[in-house]
Amino acid sequence: MLNKWSVPLLVAMVVLAGCKSEQKPVEEIRPVRTMLVGGALPAAAEVYSGEVKAQHEVPMGFRIAGKMISRAVSVGDTVKKGQVLAQLDAGDVTLNATGARAALSSAQAQLAQAKLDYQRSQDLHAQNFVSQAEVDKRQTALISAQKLSEQAKAHVDLANNQSSYAQLIADGDGVITQTLAEPGSVVSAGQSVLMLAKAGQYEAVIDVPENRVHAWQPGQKVAVQLWADADRALVGTVSEVAPAADSKTRTFRVKVALPEKNTAALGMTIQVSQVFASKAIPNEISLPMSAVFGKEQMMRVWLVDDKNTVHSQAITVLGHQGQQVRIQGIPAKSIVVTAGVHLLREGQKIKVLPLVQGAQQ
């Protein structure tokens, strides 16, 4: 039997059950990483990072040993041919030059005396006062004095050269890229104290793995993109491919000559892409492999719209390059999810983490 409180209680329970059934589930907003596809590099390219260097970078050092007393340049300074870059203490070479000149004067005096003795012996021999043996002896002494004089002259020339070697002179126009010794240090002959990048053509230097080096040949045209000028690609020419791999990295050094008119500066970061012109495919895009999902022949990617909602898009897989996959089927400037693709569903709201620039079209 129901008492007077039973009916109101049942009514309240029914109302609460109805309210509970009308509550909607909270939609999950999943944070994802994305990438803005499209760039300045050509299609069907293998991209390698490197830096800009001078085509000729020369280590500069003194030709004699000594104590460096001054350095007239620093990193980044522009120098001209014939400019004094550094100076050694010239005390020892000056003394050496003085001694060499004194030795030359002594040798020349002995030569003059030998000439007089030889001439006198000839005169006396003509008068039968001395024998022919005495004349021959004086002639031999004269020849010896002549050779000693020549030797002393060579020593003077060497000492003078060494005196000039106390100054480090730029042998061409360029830019100082590195200093390797400071004033006050004692340097040996030939020790590098400065690095001089010769003025002229710059080049991009990259390292290519051994399984791809066979595709690089001198004279080949490639695309070069400066990180500081990402909106414009330059056309470079492969100038040198190392004949042997680096002993530590096992990669091959490849040098690419840049065009004369460019905005490159020494040390800038660059990307070099090898262009396969005969195999270029319109609308081809390179993405990380983590951005692609689905089964073979039915691969897809997630595209993000302006409302931060994801929609799957069918794609055509053209090939793989390392950790990148070359695809076709999405427009440039699309925003593609690159991580967590297997946790999303059609029409799901997402939170976009900072965009990653760099996919190549």
Predicted TM-score (pTM) of the model is: 0.52
Confidence grade of residue 290 (pLDDT, cut at 50, 70, 90): confident
pLDDT tens sequence across 337-348: 888 888 888 988
- Structure tokens belonging to residue 233: 């690609």
pLDDT tens sequence across 93-149: 888 888 999 999 999 999 999 999 999 999 998 998 889 999 999 999 999 999 999
> What does the buried/exposed string (b/e) look like for 320-358 if buried means 16 or more CB atoms within 10 Å of the residue's CB?
eeeebbbbebbeeebbbbbbebeebeeebebeeeeeeee
- Structure tokens belonging to residue 345: 């569903």
pLDDT of res. 102: 93
Cβ-based neighbours of 237, under 8 Å, separated by 6 or more: 219, 220, 221, 222, 256, 257
Strand partners, 54: 202
Backbone angles phi, psi at 107, to 5 degrees: -65, -40
Angle at 222 between CA 217 and CA 223, to 5 degrees: 160
pLDDT tens sequence across 36-91: 776 444 444 578 888 988 888 889 999 999 999 999 999 989 999 999 999 999 88
- Structure tokens belonging to residue 204: 């991009």
